[in-house]
């Protein structure tokens, strides 16, 4: 069943062509305090980011996650969606959770194991679930190590396409191509184009996206959602954050 947050995202993609989502990465090298998280969220909301994701690929301490989500929810009106790495990454305070499977993990724990352990907790908390096929491109940095990723090379778009198609055939309602936080090389345009051409569900792209120009290219290649984290943490580059978000909003329906 499609919940409120998912409907909001889909409607917004239809209206704006493509949207930006801000990730608050609790595993960032910067210490994420409640205050910093709220500041990032508020700033991003004022520039038109569509939602806030909270999570991180390595060490997520549940009480910190709870506190950050509560602080962000007090500050902004846009939905807060959990981006979990494990069962410790679930909080009752969010609006929804990406119910995600790391499709190219070599460890079944990250494909179905954590999900089975987490499902009853999610039910107990009454969280909206949004099914997502998560695909890591290249080595993926931290997420690659923690998630025991079986690498999809940047120059093998057909392998990403096959994973994305499998996600859709499983019934996942979003596909996420992830290069990893702070990646030197973002997901290539050619790969985005080929994946988008074959799937019917919305495509999310993240990892290593730093400029408006890059964001624009990613959207032109077919991404419906662009996720950034590192750029958002850098307050000295406010214009960069604004420029990045401005370049994502195109008035063309790409779903
Ligand atoms: C979300 O992991 C990314 O998909 C965030 O990456 O920190 O490089 O923006 P950045």
Q: What is the rounded CA–CA span in Å between residue 139 and residue 136?
A: 8
pTM for this prediction: 0.96
- Band (pLDDT 50/70/90 cuts) for residue 59 is confident
User: For 70-96, how does the pLDDT look when each residue is reduced to its tens digit (9 = 90+)?
Assistant: 999 999 999 999 999 999 999 999 999
- Measured in Å, residue 228 CA sits from the centre of ligand 1 at 5
Measured CA distances, 195 to 57, 145, 223 (Å):
24, 24, 9
Considering only 131-140, 207-216, 235-244, which range has the smallest mean pLDDT? 235-244
- Span from the CA of 60 to the centroid of ligand 1 (angstroms): 16
What is the whole-number distance in angstroms between the Cα of residue 188 and the centre of ligand 1? Answer: 15
pLDDT at 232: 81
At the topology level, CATH places domain 4-254 in TIM Barrel (3.20.20)
Task: Reply yes or no on whether the pLDDT at 255 is more than 60.
Answer: no
Whose Cα sits closest to atom 10 in ligand 1?
Answer: 181
Mean pLDDT of 22-32: 88
Residue from 181, 203, 223, 241 whose mutation best tests the ligand 1 pocket (most atoms within 8 A of CB): 181
- Residue range 32-38: mean pLDDT, rounded: 93
**Percentage of the chain surpassing pLDDT 70?**
96
How many other C-beta atoms can be found within 10 angstroms of the C-beta atom of residue 238?
A: 12
Distance CA 199, CA 83 (A): 22
Where exactly are the structural domains of the chain?
Answer: 4-254
Per the document, the length of the chain is 255
Q: What is the pLDDT of residue 252?
A: 53
With a cut of 90, say whether residue 58 has pLDDT above it: no
Question: In angstroms, rounded to a whole number, what is the distance separating the alpha carbons of residues 130 and 96?
Answer: 7
The secondary structure of the chain, three-state, reads CCCHHHHHHHHHHHHHCCEEEEEEECCCCCCCCHHHHHHHHHHHHHHCCCEEEEECCCCCCHHHHHHHHHHHHHHCCCCEEEECCCHHHCCCCCCEEEEEEECCECCHHHHHHHHHHHHHHHHHHCCEEEEEEEEEEECCCHHHHHCCECCECCCCHHHHHHHHHHHHHHCCCEEEEECCCCCCCCCCHHHHHHHHHHCCCCEEEECCCCCHHHHHHHHHHCCCEEEECHHHHCHHHHHHHHHHHHCCCCCCCCC
- The per-residue pLDDT of the chain, averaged, comes to 93
CA 203, 209, 213, 216: dihedral to nearest 10 degrees? 10
Return the residue whose CA atom lies nearest to atom 3 of ligand 1. Answer: 207
Cα–Cα distances in angstroms (integers) from residue 48 to residues 66, 95, 194, in the given order: 24, 19, 28
Angle at 173 between CA 169 and CA 175, to 5 degrees: 85
The predicted model gives 26-35 an average pLDDT of 87
Q: What is the mean pLDDT of residues 205-209?
A: 96
What is the average pLDDT across 163-185? 97
Please report the pLDDT score of residue 249 as a whole number. 78
Mean pLDDT score, 193-210: 97
Q: Is the CB of 178 under 6 A from ligand 1?
A: yes
């Amino acid at each position: 069943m499609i919940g409120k947050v998912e409907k909001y995202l889909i409607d917004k993609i239809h209206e704006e062509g493509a949207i930006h989502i801000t990730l608050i990465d609790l595993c960032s090298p910067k210490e994420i305090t409640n205050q910093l998280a709220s500041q990032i969220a508020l700033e991003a909301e004022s520039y038109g980011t569509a939602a806030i994701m909270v999570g991180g690929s390595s060490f997520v301490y549940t009480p910190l996650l709870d506190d950050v989500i509560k602080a962000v929810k007090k500050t902004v009106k846009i939905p807060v969606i959990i981006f979990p790495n494990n069962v410790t990454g679930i909080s009752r305070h969010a609006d929804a959770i990406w119910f995600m499977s790391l499709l190219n993990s070599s460890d079944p724990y990250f494909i179905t194991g954590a999900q089975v352990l987490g499902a009853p907790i999610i039910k107990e908390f009454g969280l909206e679930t949004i099914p997502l096929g998560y695909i890591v491109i290249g080595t993926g940095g931290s997420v690659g190590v923690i998630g025991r990723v079986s690498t999809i090379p940047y120059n093998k778009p057909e392998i990403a396409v096959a994973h994305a198609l499998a996600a859709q055939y499983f019934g996942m309602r979003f596909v996420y191509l992830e290069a990893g936080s702070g990646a030197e090389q973002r997901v290539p345009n050619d790969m985005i184009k080929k994946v988008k051409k074959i799937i019917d569900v919305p495509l999310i792209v993240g990892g290593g996206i730093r400029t408006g120009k890059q964001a624009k290219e990613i959207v032109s290649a077919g991404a419906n959602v662009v996720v950034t984290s590192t750029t958002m943490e850098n307050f000295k580059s406010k214009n960069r954050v604004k420029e990045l978000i401005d370049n994502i909003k195109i008035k063309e329906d790409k779903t």
